């Protein structure tokens, strides 16, 4: 195989890789847009708002450093959902449950079926943990959408680089010289030993 043929094959292969990367980039960007839109739409529909700035709810040192920047705003994205779940709901659920998990409280309630206060605490902790889990799911999906956005950019950059390299390969193929064809006759030049 001659040098020109090899250059053309490699350059054509580079264009195929560039096309695949371009398609991957478009699909990843679409995934980012879809996930971002869905997370925003679903969270906005819940109409969850962070406590207002200066409110008693933000005074707790386990809450204030994480939620003060969102004070009074509506919860509409995965990052906010993460902050609200881990630094508002989790703090309140831990206080309500006295540091016990839902499973621990539920076991205690089953052992004491006549304790109405404990049963109410179990229901409150269950609801809090359920909401927290749903918000953390929104955070996870939001993070996946963010990763898809950055992966789309990397794939696009890869497509551009492969296109440039392929163009250089085709340009090199135009200027490359193939070696002269090998003669079918053996070389009969006498060997001179000095």
Are residues 154 and 37 in contact, defined by beta-carbon separation less than 8 angstroms?
Answer: no
Where residue 3 falls (left for φ over 0; alpha for ψ -120 to 50; beta otherwise) is: alpha
pLDDT of 86 strictly over 70:
yes
Locate 24 and state its tokens. Answer: 């991957």
Sign of CA pseudo-dihedral 68, 70, 74, 76: negative
Using the structure block, give the residue that is written with the tokens 């999906």.
Answer: 141
pLDDT bucket at 174, cuts 50 / 70 / 90: confident
Q: How many residues does the chain have?
A: 194
Hey, which residues does 74 pair with through a beta bridge? 49
Does 80 score more than 80 pLDDT? Answer: yes
Mean pLDDT confidence for 4-21: 91
pLDDT surpasses 90 at 175: no
Would you place residue 181 in the very low, low, confident or very high pLDDT band (cuts 50, 70, 90)?
low
Contact 109, 115 (CB under 8 A): yes
Query: What count of other Cβ atoms lies within 10 Å of the Cβ of residue 146?
Result: 16
Structure tokens at 36: 């971002």
pLDDT at residue 20 in the model: 97
Residues 6+ apart with CB under 8 A from 31: 145, 148, 152
Q: How far apart are CA 50 and CA 57, in angstroms?
A: 9
User: Could you report the per-residue pLDDT of 96-108, keeping only the tens digit for each?
Assistant: 999 898 999 999 9
CA neighbor of 28 nearest in space, from 153, 173, 185, 164: 153
What confidence score (pLDDT) does residue 2 get? Answer: 77
Q: Is the pLDDT of residue 176 over 70?
A: no
Q: What is the pLDDT of residue 111?
A: 93
Section 52-65 average pLDDT: 91
pLDDT of 7 reads 85
Q: What is the pTM of this model?
A: 0.77
**Contact between 108 and 132 (Cβ < 8 Å):** no
């Amino acid at each position: 195989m001659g040098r020109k043929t090899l250059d053309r094959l490699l350059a054509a292969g580079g264009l195929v890789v560039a096309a695949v990367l371009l398609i991957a980039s478009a699909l990843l960007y679409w995934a980012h847009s879809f996930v971002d839109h869905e997370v925003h739409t679903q969270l906005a529909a819940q109409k969850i708002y962070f406590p207002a700035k200066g409110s008693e709810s933000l005074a707790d040192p386990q809450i204030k450093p994480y939620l003060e920047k969102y004070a009074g705003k509506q919860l509409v994205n995965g990052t906010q959902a993460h902050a609200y779940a881990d630094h508002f709901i989790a703090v309140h659920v831990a206080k309500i449950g006295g540091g016990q998990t839902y499973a621990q409280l539920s076991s205690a309630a089953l052992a004491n079926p006549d304790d109405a206060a404990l049963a109410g605490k179990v229901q409150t902790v269950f609801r809090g943990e359920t909401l927290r889990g749903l918000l953390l799911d929104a955070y996870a999906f939001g993070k996946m959408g963010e990763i898809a956005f950055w992966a789309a950019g990397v794939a696009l950059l890869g497509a551009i680089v492969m296109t440039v390299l392929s163009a250089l390969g085709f340009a090199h193929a135009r200027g490359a010289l193939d070696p002269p064809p090998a003669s079918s006759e053996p070389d009969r030049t006498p060997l001179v030993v000095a």
